[in-house]
């Protein structure tokens, strides 16, 4: 089994998960197959929904002599007639629902191995949300003990060790850590079904985040029992990779249809508010008139069409960088999901999320409502602005929000102002203060807001504006008037905006004061003939930086890397690699995660980085694909895309 | 042609539109059929999407000798092979796009009649958004003049007279009024394509509302050229009934796919984020590999699957009362739609929208974000609370937001408080102040909010709380403490909550002080044995009121109606009907709109009302289905559901 990140957004990731029975793309949904009663067969699922992996229950198989016999003789793949990867559950949930049932924790793992399960599951102890902390802790201890006993029995089967700990974040994290320290392959987050049944999504988020904090980030995470697509995107945003659905069948059995905003009873619908093949073929009244079994089957198909389509939508959102938008939109249909989203604003959660947040995305950031301003990318921008950015002049002129990029929209005003005196120019934007020279940097130019946002967003951005302008001499441009004294000193008033921009962007991107090192020489700036935008920066005829047109961020060139390497002591900006990898990196091949020895904890996905050997010799410059935690944990896949050897 | 309202929500309506070629349910989408080049035939559309009506272009037919010949000889239905209703366009848009082309305004109307169009369109003058007011006014005059000349030529064809007026609300309203005064059958809102192309949705909303204000509410309204489902729900919320889409074909031609959040190029998609039959059958790479024509066709099918599914979703939202939720959710995916939504907060728009807002709905009100608190139902509640509600005691105790219904959640506290003294009890809720006795009234109990909303919603509700409590003696229950003096007078402290509830709800529902009239006698209150909720109210042994469990509102009984009829002078609560209708109403049959002579302008859809004759004799009591404007305008369908003859 291998698992590697291919694309990412927020703390979500699109991965390839390789098993003996084929490769699965995550995030993905494992439909639950009841070997006794298949509403839809795995073969059909594969054909209709592109189902890549399913889950079935080893406890149910084991307790039925006939099923057990077939499974042992022919394997679970033959039993349910599916040639893709199969995960098996152990009976934990049945213990929870039906009370004490007889299963031996080690036997059931052995059994799963014997029937050829690709991913077997330990018999963990289901921790309910109403447990006292003591009870939860006891359950957790037993779960960990069982995991310990089970691991030696797994053979070549991957073993899923379920994170328990009820609603206690410290227990969840502890359990996750202890399981991560063993040789487990796959981490379900368990005991969450009662939370989902009661729409306690804020509690669910706490469980997921605390588990994720303790888990080895290089292993797949499965939100056990999560089958309603309503919250798939939120769970993925937090780093869940797998869901399993028996909901499609359970709801179908009750005449209920899954939609992205919730569940509706067919009986109450006059029309089918969906475009899936079932809802396109039948009208509501057609469906109502079908015989009971056929209706159940069609509702099951509908439920899976909708669920798999949401999985594809989420994967598209990850690839294209709009996972936050998707999650906020989905949450707008359910107030309890909005409560969950609010959980992410907590400082410790923002700090955790920010570590995974890519530096740049393929699509613009879209405002969806009062949650947008609290996204990690905004949090990061504000933090860097306050700690890395340096004002150039003593006076600051504040301009109102305008069209983007501001430097073009306000070109005439800027000229007039600079004729009077040199000042800092700051736009009071929806995203907080934007010094005019940062206006092309992601996400400042690449963001779409309504003309008026909402009180909360205005309040948040004002807070940062106030902090940013604190103790500064500020002049506000208002209604076309500007109360600014003309500078009568002999100093020339023209400001070299290109230089100001290059300095400011490189400081924001690489660290405070870095421009001093990168740009201390004869500068030559090459601009695009078409757009007038900065393209390349040369210092003493050495190419140090290139600016990407799409996100206004610099890529670091070999000479720039040398300067930064000299300027910053380790570990700053460094990815330290094994000796063995150096020849490949020198040929501009990617740095694979397994060759990473250390990494600057401040590096974020898609940041520019210095690739060095253990003695801190600069080998190459590249762009990270993972953050430090991930680089240290993953055994598979690329960690850094090498751009240029030095 | 007849048109009648069947269900409603916001200013949106679900109607039956009868034509010579069959009945169409609205809101609906008319796919544009190019008679020269059909990507998908009308027959296929009918089969695949349940398409009920299509639109084609009479100008294109007329200028092509062959098409013209067939159309004149065999009719337009044979020409495009569709037996349902067909609307024809006149060439206005072609004039706009290609400049002056030769069409005679009257000839083209005659031609449409001759080819058997169900709905022909006048050759209006396309008013672009960049016109000066003078230009727009001239265009409008010419449009109205052409309508005047065209109407005598329409024969038995329905004639669509397009509302123009560029972006000037007064011109739009004027044009709408003038056209409404003629014998027009169908009202397109024209000249809006450039607004939609540039996502100027706030301007679009202004155009729609001002047109709707001037239009006869009993006629279908068509948003001309609106083909992207992104804004269907918003347009329906404002009272648009028809859309027409050539977008499905145009986008398909450009390799673009329509989604509810916008449009994506197939080329950029790795996966298909949709569950329609096309996206379920093909993968993105399958689609990319199809030959050009087949790919175009499949994209066209996808675009229509998504568009028609949104139409069904909107109709479901109307039937079930969640159109506002749907619109707010859709808007969360597009900042310009959020700007448009903000337009609806303007006082004059709120006032207009409130007139159409049903008194009660089948589903709870869901908070989606900072726009929710600005909905007309909340506006109405605040207005009635400030003008109709009467406080009972001198001191008010304010309780924090709690579980619903508050009177049960706070039962213990209430008891303790009343042991001390008689006070008004008000919950400081997400919806503003809620006197405890109103807690079961729609939408106060029937609303779902997150634990914490957002600054803006909090600010809005605080504003109303402050206004409501202004100049009152207020005690706040905080952290379990209550600084309330015990009443030492001999007055008994127990409060008859049932009486307080009945009085307050009837005042809120029927008007200030009405409880004095309804409840001045020996009261007997019958409660549900199961729920303890008030069911029936008798006064001097006469049944005056019943309370509906689902929305906590009263239905008025015959005796209650008599009391209100005596208490309130006309026109208050009255629907005045023609002599001819009286015998039917006495048999408890619905009042049809065409028999309504007058109506209280304060009555809202689903309000209790007094049905009277022209001499103000009380005939019956009923529940309105329409507001005054609609009752006066509609010739078809029911206006009042009669409950009980008097």
Query: How open is the CA angle B243-B248-B253, to the nearest 5 degrees?
Result: 150
Of residues A332, A452, A455, nearest to B329 (C-beta): A332
Of residues A279, A306, A336, nearest to B450 (C-beta): A336
Q: Which residues in chain A are contacts of B202 at CB distance < 8 A?
A: 451
Axis-axis angle for helices A376-388, A497-510 (nearest 10): 110
pLDDT for res B28: 98
pLDDT for res B493: 66
Q: Which residues of A are catalytic?
A: 89
Distance (Å) from the alpha carbon of A361 to chain B's nearest alpha carbon: 14
**pLDDT class of A492 with cuts at 50, 70, 90:** low
Subunit contact A320:B268, Cβ cutoff 8 A: yes
A34: Cα separation from own chain's centroid: 32
pLDDT for res A493: 67
Distance (Å) from the alpha carbon of A307 to chain B's nearest alpha carbon: 9
Distance (Å) from the alpha carbon of A200 to chain B's nearest alpha carbon: 11
Of residues B202, B269, B332, nearest to A329 (C-beta): B332
* CB-based contact A625:A593 (threshold 8 Å): no
Sheet holding B574-577, edge to edge: B591-592, B638-645, B618-624, B608-612, B574-577, B596-599
Q: In this predicted structure, which of A488-492, B248-252, B303-307 has the lowest mean pLDDT?
A: A488-492
Tell me which of B9, B81, B83, B89 is the catalytic residue: B89
Backbone φ, ψ for residue B407 (5° rounding):
-65, -25
Q: Which residues in chain A are contacts of B370 at CB distance < 8 A?
A: 369-370, 454-456
* CB-based contact A256:A263 (threshold 8 Å): yes
Q: Which residue of B has its CA nearest to A306?
A: B275
Axis-axis angle for helices A201-214, A169-180 (nearest 10): 30
Judge if pTM exceeds 0.90.
yes
Subunit contact A367:B312, Cβ cutoff 8 A: no
Subunit contact B336:A270, Cβ cutoff 8 A: no
| Alpha-carbon gap, residue A425 to B300, rounded angstroms | 49
Burial of A586 (0-12, 13-18, 19+ CB in 10 A): middle
DSSP state, residue A452: S
- How crowded is residue A597: how many other Cβ atoms within 10 Å of its Cβ? 16
Q: Which residues in chain A are contacts of B50 at CB distance < 8 A?
A: 283
CA B567 vs CA A413, B380, B503, B537, B643: distances in Å: 67, 23, 15, 18, 20
| Alpha-carbon gap, residue A173 to A209, rounded angstroms | 8
Q: Which residues in chain A are contacts of B283 at CB distance < 8 A?
A: 50
Q: Which residue of A has its CA nearest to B340?
A: A450
Residue B490 has pLDDT above 70, yes or no: no
Q: Which residues in chain B are contacts of A281 at CB distance < 8 A?
A: 277
> Of A14, A275, A276, which to mutate for an interface test with B (greatest number of B Cβ within 10 Å)?
A275
Summary mean pLDDT of chain A: 95
Dihedral sign computed on CA atoms, order B386, B390, B394, B400: negative
3-state secondary structure of B247: helix
How much is the ipTM here? 0.96
Annotation says B483 is catalytic: no
Subunit contact A316:B274, Cβ cutoff 8 A: no
Q: Which residues in chain A are contacts of B367 at CB distance < 8 A?
A: 335, 338
| Alpha-carbon gap, residue B601 to B340, rounded angstroms | 28
Subunit contact B456:A454, Cβ cutoff 8 A: yes
Subunit contact B459:A454, Cβ cutoff 8 A: no
Indicate the helix (H) or strand (E) that contains A295.
helix A292-320
Q: Which residues in chain A are contacts of B313 at CB distance < 8 A?
A: 273-274
Q: Which residue of A has its CA nearest to B454?
A: A456
**pLDDT class of A464 with cuts at 50, 70, 90:** very high
Of residues A271, A366, A451, nearest to B312 (C-beta): A271
Residue B443 has pLDDT above 90, yes or no: yes
pLDDT for res B567: 95
> Of A317, A332, A401, A462, which to mutate for an interface test with B (greatest number of B Cβ within 10 Å)?
A332
| Alpha-carbon gap, residue A124 to A191, rounded angstroms | 10
**pLDDT class of A102 with cuts at 50, 70, 90:** confident
- Mean pLDDT within A140-161: 97
Backbone φ, ψ for residue B17 (5° rounding):
-115, 110
Of residues A270, A273, A332, nearest to B309 (C-beta): A273
DSSP output for A533-569 = -EEEEEETTEEEEEE-TTT--EEEPHHHHHHHHHHSP
Q: Which residue of B has its CA nearest to A201?
A: B450
Residue A548 has pLDDT above 80, yes or no: yes
Residue B491 has pLDDT above 70, yes or no: no
User: What is the C-alpha radius of gyration for chain A, rounded to an integer number of angstroms?
Assistant: 28
pLDDT for res A617: 97
Residue B445 has pLDDT above 90, yes or no: yes
Subunit contact B274:A342, Cβ cutoff 8 A: no
* CB-based contact B640:B579 (threshold 8 Å): no
CA B625 vs CA B202, B587, B632: distances in Å: 30, 18, 12
How do residues B385-404 score in pLDDT, each as one tens digit? 999 999 889 899 999 999 99
Nearest Cα neighbor of A603 from A576, A578, A572 is: A572
What pairs with residue A524 in β-bridges?
A: A538
Residue A537 has pLDDT above 90, yes or no: yes
Residue A494 has pLDDT above 90, yes or no: no
Instruction: Name the more confident of A507 and B473.
Output: A507
Axis-axis angle for helices B169-180, B133-150 (nearest 10): 10
Q: Which residues in chain A are contacts of B450 at CB distance < 8 A?
A: 335-336, 338-339, 342
A633: Cα separation from own chain's centroid: 17
**Cβ neighbours for B439, distance < 8 A, ≥ 6 positions apart:** B404, B405, B406, B407, B427, B445, B552
Q: Which residues in chain A are contacts of B274 at CB distance < 8 A?
A: 275, 309, 312-313
> Of A281, A450, A458, A461, which to mutate for an interface test with B (greatest number of B Cβ within 10 Å)?
A450
DSSP output for B326-370 = HHHHHHTT-HHHHHHHHHTTSHHHHHHHHTT--S--SS-EE--ST
Dihedral sign computed on CA atoms, order B624, B629, B635, B637: negative
**pLDDT class of A480 with cuts at 50, 70, 90:** confident
Dihedral sign computed on CA atoms, order A540, A544, A549, A552: negative
Subunit contact B261:A329, Cβ cutoff 8 A: yes
pLDDT for res B351: 97
> Of B202, B367, B450, which to mutate for an interface test with A (greatest number of A Cβ within 10 Å)?
B450
Residue A421 has pLDDT above 90, yes or no: no
Summary mean pLDDT of chain B: 95
Burial of B558 (0-12, 13-18, 19+ CB in 10 A): middle
Of residues B202, B274, B369, nearest to A370 (C-beta): B369
Of residues B49, B339, B448, nearest to A451 (C-beta): B339
Subunit contact A335:B48, Cβ cutoff 8 A: no
Distance (Å) from the alpha carbon of A285 to chain B's nearest alpha carbon: 13
Token pair, residue A423, equals 């000042």
Residue B480 has pLDDT above 80, yes or no: no
> Of B50, B206, B280, which to mutate for an interface test with A (greatest number of A Cβ within 10 Å)?
B280
**pLDDT class of B285 with cuts at 50, 70, 90:** very high
| Interior/surface letters A87-124, b for 16+ CB within 10 angstroms, e for the rest | bbbbbbbbbbeeeeeebebeebbbbbbbbbbbbbbbbb
| Alpha-carbon gap, residue A556 to A583, rounded angstroms | 21
- How crowded is residue B171: how many other Cβ atoms within 10 Å of its Cβ? 25
Burial of B533 (0-12, 13-18, 19+ CB in 10 A): middle
Ranges of H-type helices in B215-322: 232-237, 247-253, 277-281, 284-289, 292-320
Q: Which residues in chain B are contacts of A345 at CB distance < 8 A?
A: none
Subunit contact B315:A272, Cβ cutoff 8 A: no
| Alpha-carbon gap, residue B128 to B135, rounded angstroms | 9
pLDDT for res B421: 87
| Interior/surface letters A147-181, b for 16+ CB within 10 angstroms, e for the rest | beebbebbeebbbbbbbbbbbbbebbbbbbbbbbe
* CB-based contact A381:A433 (threshold 8 Å): no
Subunit contact B370:A454, Cβ cutoff 8 A: yes
| Alpha-carbon gap, residue B353 to B363, rounded angstroms | 19
Strand ranges (DSSP E) for B169-255? 187-189, 221-223, 242-245
How do residues B132-177 score in pLDDT, each as one tens digit? 999 999 999 999 999 999 999 999 999 999 999 999 999 999 999 9
B633: Cα separation from own chain's centroid: 17
Residue B494 has pLDDT above 90, yes or no: no
pLDDT for res B207: 98
End-to-end CA distance of chain A: 35
Indicate the helix (H) or strand (E) that contains A598.
strand A596-599
What pairs with residue A429 in β-bridges?
A: A432
DSSP state, residue B590: P
* CB-based contact A61:A71 (threshold 8 Å): yes
| Alpha-carbon gap, residue B21 to B75, rounded angstroms | 13
Residue B245 has pLDDT above 90, yes or no: no
DSSP output for A370-419 = TTGGGSHHHHHHHHHHHHH----SSEEEEEE--SSSHHHHTHHHHHHHHH
B375: Cα separation from own chain's centroid: 12
**Region label for B460, one of left (φ > 0), alpha (ψ between -120 and 50) or beta (otherwise):** alpha
| Alpha-carbon gap, residue A575 to A614, rounded angstroms | 10
pLDDT for res A629: 97
Query: How open is the CA angle B46-B50-B56, to the nearest 5 degrees?
Result: 50
Distance (Å) from the alpha carbon of A342 to chain B's nearest alpha carbon: 8
Nearest Cα neighbor of A110 from A146, A150, A81, A139 is: A150
Subunit contact A451:B202, Cβ cutoff 8 A: yes
| Alpha-carbon gap, residue B112 to A420, rounded angstroms | 67
A389: Cα separation from own chain's centroid: 27
pLDDT for res B274: 98
CB pairs under 8 A between A and B: 154
Subunit contact B274:A49, Cβ cutoff 8 A: no
**Cβ neighbours for B119, distance < 8 A, ≥ 6 positions apart:** B1, B19, B85, B86, B87, B88, B157, B158, B159, B160, B185, B186
Question: HSE on the CB side for B12, CA within 13 Å?
Answer: 27
Indicate the helix (H) or strand (E) that contains B89.
strand B86-89
End-to-end CA distance of chain B: 35
């Amino acid at each position: 089994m291998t698992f590697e990140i291919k694309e990412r957004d927020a703390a979500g990731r699109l991965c390839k998960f390789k098993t003996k029975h084929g490769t699965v793309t995550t995030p993905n949904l494992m439909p639950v197959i009841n070997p006794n009663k298949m509403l839809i067969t795995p073969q059909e699922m594969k054909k209709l929904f592109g189902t890549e992996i399913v889950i079935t229950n080893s406890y149910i198989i084991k307790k039925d002599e006939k099923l057990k016999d077939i499974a042992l003789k022919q394997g679970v793949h033959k039993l349910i007639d599916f040639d893709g990867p199969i995960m098996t559950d152990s009976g934990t949930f049945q213990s929870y629902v039906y009370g004490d049932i007889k299963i031996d924790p080690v036997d059931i793992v052995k059994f799963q191995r014997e029937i050829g399960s690709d991913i077997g599951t330990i018999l963990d102890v289901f921790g309910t949300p109403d447990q006292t902390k003591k009870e939860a802790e006891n359950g957790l201890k037993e779960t960990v003990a069982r995991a310990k006993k089970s691991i030696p029995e797994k053979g070549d089967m991957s073993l899923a060790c379920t994170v328990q700990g009820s609603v206690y974040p410290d227990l969840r994290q502890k359990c996750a850590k202890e399981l991560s320290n063993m040789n487990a392959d796959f981490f379900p987050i368990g005991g969450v079904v009662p939370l989902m049944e009661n729409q306690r999504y804020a509690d669910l988020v706490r469980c997921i985040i605390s588990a994720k904090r303790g888990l080895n980030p290089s292993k797949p995470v499965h939100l056990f029992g999560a089958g309603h697509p309503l919250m798939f995107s939120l769970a993925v945003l937090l780093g869940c990779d797998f869901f399993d659905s028996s909901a499609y069948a359970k709801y179908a059995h009750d005449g209920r249809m899954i939609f992205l905003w919730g569940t509706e009873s067919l009986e109450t619908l006059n029309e089918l508010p969906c475009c899936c093949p079932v809802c396109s073929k039948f009208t509501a009244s057609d469906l109502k008139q079908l015989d009971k079994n056929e209706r159940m089957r069609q509702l099951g198909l509908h439920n899976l069409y909708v669920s798999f389509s949401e999985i594809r939508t989420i994967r598209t959102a990850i690839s294209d960088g709009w996972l936050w938008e998707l999650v906020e939109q989905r949450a707008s249909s359910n107030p309890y999901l909005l409560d969950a989203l609010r959980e992410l604003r907590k400082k410790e959660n923002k700090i955790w999320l920010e570590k995974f947040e890519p530096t740049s995305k393929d699509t613009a950031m879209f405002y969806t409502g009062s949650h947008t301003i609290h996204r990690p990318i905004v949090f990061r921008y504000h933090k860097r602005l306050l700690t890395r950015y340096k004002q150039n002049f003593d006076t600051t002129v504040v301009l109102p929000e305008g069209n983007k990029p501001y430097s073009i929209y306000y070109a005439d005003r800027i000229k007039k102002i600079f004729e009077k005196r040199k000042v800092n120019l700051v736009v009071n934007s929806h995203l907080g203060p934007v010094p005019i020279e940062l206006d092309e940097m992601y996400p400042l130019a690449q963001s779409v807001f309504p003309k008026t946002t909402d009180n909360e967003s205005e309040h948040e951005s004002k807070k940062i504006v106030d902090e940013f302008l604190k103790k500064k001499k500020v002049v506000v441009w208002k209604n076309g008037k500007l109360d600014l004294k003309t500078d009568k000193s002999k100093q020339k008033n023209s400001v070299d905006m290109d230089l100001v921009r290059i300095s400011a962007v490189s400081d924001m991107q690489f660290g405070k004061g870095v421009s001093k090192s990168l740009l201390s020489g004869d500068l030559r700036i090459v601009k695009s003939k078409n757009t007038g935008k900065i393209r390349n920066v040369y210092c003493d005829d050495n190419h140090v930086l290139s600016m990407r047109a799409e996100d206004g961020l610099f890529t670091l060139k070999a000479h720039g890397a040398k300067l930064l390497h000299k300027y910053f002591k380790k570990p700053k900006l460094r990815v330290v690699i094994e000796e063995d990898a150096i020849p490949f990196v020198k040929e501009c091949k990617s740095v694979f995660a397994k060759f990473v020895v250390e990494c600057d904890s401040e590096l974020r996905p898609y940041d520019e980085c210095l690739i060095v050997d253990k003695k801190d010799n600069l080998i190459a410059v590249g762009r990270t694909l993972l953050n430090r935690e991930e680089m240290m944990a993953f055994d598979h896949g690329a960690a850094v895309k090498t751009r240029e050897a030095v």
